[in-house]
């Protein structure tokens, strides 16, 4: 886990540098980096840090949705899927932290985005509904 975390941190730093120098970077990749770091932090038991990483990923994911809005349909669907996953992770972490009032909203947002991206009958929709 430590090696993976260091690799993600290095990649995140590289994306930050790239994003400052190049406006054409893929915002969804940046959101995924924060999401993946949050997943690693969660597995290590650092739930508070995971919440911060998921919150940062969500901010970036929302920005990505605005940037791809109206452009390629495939990119839009990818953005919905990624952001839906981040919302789901944030809801789970809120539950782990005992923040009951902050659990349902992210899970509902996740479900809505996943339904748009995958369709009502996709098996992943059942996971979010349970």
Query: Cβ distance 31 to 57 under 8 Å?
Result: yes
Query: Cβ distance 83 to 31 under 8 Å?
Result: yes
The tens digit of pLDDT for each residue in 49-95 reads 999 999 999 998 888 777 665 556 677 788 888 899 999 999 999 99
Mean per-residue pLDDT for 12-32?
A: 59
Using only C-alpha atoms, the chain has a radius of gyration, in whole angstroms, of 15
Question: Which runs of consecutive H residues, i.e. helices, occur in the chain?
Answer: 2-21, 27-43, 47-68, 73-96, 104-118, 123-129
Phi, psi angle pair for 118, to nearest 5°: -105, -25
pLDDT surpasses 80 at 9: no
CA 93 to chain centre: 12
How distant, in Å, are the alpha carbons of 4, 20, 71, 87, 102 from that of 33?
A: 11, 16, 23, 15, 23
């Amino acid at each position: 886990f430590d090696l993976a975390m260091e690799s993600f941190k290095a990649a995140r730093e590289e994306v930050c540098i790239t994003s400052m120098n190049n406006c054409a970077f893929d915002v969804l990749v940046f959101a995924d980096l924060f999401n993946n770091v949050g997943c690693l932090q969660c597995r290590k038991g650092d739930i508070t840090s995971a919440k911060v990483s998921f919150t940062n990923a969500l901010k970036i994911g929302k920005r990505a949705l605005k940037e791809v809005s109206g452009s390629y349909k495939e990119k839009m669907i990818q953005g919905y899927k990624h952001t839906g996953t981040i919302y789901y992770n944030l809801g789970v972490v809120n539950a782990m932290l005992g923040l009951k009032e902050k659990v349902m909203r992210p899970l509902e947002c996740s479900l809505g985005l996943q339904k748009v991206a995958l369709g009502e009958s996709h098996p992943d929709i059942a996971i979010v509904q349970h």
